[in-house]
Amino acid sequence: MAFEGLADRLQNTIQRIKGKGKVTEQDVKEMTREVRLALLEADVNFKVVKDFVARVKERAIGQEVMESLTPGQQVIKVVKEELTALMGGEQSKIAVADRPPTIIMMVGLQGAGKTTTTGKLANLLRKKYNRNPMLVAADVYRPAAINQLETLGKQLSMPVFSLGTDRDPVDIANQAIEKAKADHNDYVIIDTAGRLHVDGDLMQELKQIKTDVAPDEIFLVVDAMTGQDAVNVAESFNEQLELTGVILTKLDGDTRGGAALSIKAVTEKPIKFAGMGEKLDELEVFHPERMASRILG
Ligand code: GDP
């Protein structure tokens, strides 16, 4: 499970301050030093750590703690609130178009889990929100991706729109949307092409699709295991496409969790969902507060 190391270290640190009837500036300094090290070790972006620690320190030696009857616990409350804010604060909602279908564009590098997550998201939309999605195979460079999506569609008993590999993805997307309207599918989830690295041609193609179909959501699927790289990838996709949200995958692995803690701060885009395994029902709505509680114990 992600965040294990971070959770261990932070829980140790806060345990020590928790019972204190009086919290001195020295206590706060020691605690924030530990918090800083724990976050850096968890691979959280350096600048994000610096700002985070500064905010915690300012609040922890401020009035709200000093005047509290239980200062030790108050400090922990501050850490928890700031950790929650770091991951986005409120849980974010998924868009609903005024006139259906709501169009979701899935983007990301190859191997991040984009195709699998397209299936998982469709499953979640049906189960949790009672929606009736259509999947669209617009990754025309990788025939295997089309087959993979069709297999997922079969498992889910959901329609998959595909025109094979020799068509323009923009055409595919447009035709899929028409079909979804006719068939009363209220969500259209477009699985776009990935590459091994961020590249200009790919971005051009994605921008073209975006301009043409005007999606309600553009979700970047990123592999949480890639740590700082996930943050860099998110930054470049966001610059080019103005994402509406991020889906972190593989949070079930022994990732150190840094990506989850840096992406919102760096891109200003919320993490909307988290992949917790390979199975189709292993996608969760991302709750910053619950995640912060999980980390702080
Ligand atoms: P794509 O190239 O981005 O479309 O990636 P795929 O959807 O083909 O996924 C790549 C691999 O990651 C597959 O083996 C998936 O089963 C796996 N995968 C995707 N999401 C998760 C996740 O949340 N947890 C785990 N453990 N594996 C995942």
Mutate to test the pocket of ligand 1, among 116, 191, 282 (most ligand atoms within 8 A of CB): 116
pTM of this structure? 0.94
Q: How far is the CA of 221 from the centre of ligand 1 (A)?
A: 10
- How far, in whole angstroms, is CA 290 from its chain's centroid? 14
The number of the ligand 1 atom at minimal distance from the alpha carbon of 283 is 23
User: How far, in Å, from the CA of 113 to the mean position of ligand 1?
Assistant: 4
For residue 112, give the ligand 1 atom closest to its CA: 3
Q: How far is the CA of 226 from the centre of ligand 1 (A)?
A: 13
ipTM: 0.99
Q: How far is CA 151 from the centre of its chain?
A: 25
Would you list which residues are annotated within the binding site for GTP? 108-115, 191-195, 249-252
Amino acid identity of residue 52, one-letter, is F
> Which atom of ligand 1 sits closest to the CA of residue 221?
3
Which residues form the pocket of ligand 1, taking CB atoms under 6 Å from any ligand atom? 108, 110-116, 194, 249-250, 252-253, 275-278
Q: How far is the CA of 45 from the centre of ligand 1 (A)?
A: 24
Exposure class string for 57-90: b at 16+ Cβ within 10 A, else e? bebbbeeebeeeeebbbbbbbbbbbbbbbbbbee
pLDDT in tens, 62-118: 888 888 888 888 889 999 999 999 999 888 889 999 999 999 999 999 999 999 999
Q: How far is the CA of 136 from the centre of ligand 1 (A)?
A: 18
Residue 236 host element (H or E): helix 228-241
Q: What is the pLDDT of residues 116-175, one digit of tens each?
A: 999 999 999 999 999 999 999 999 988 899 999 999 999 999 999 999 999 999 999 999
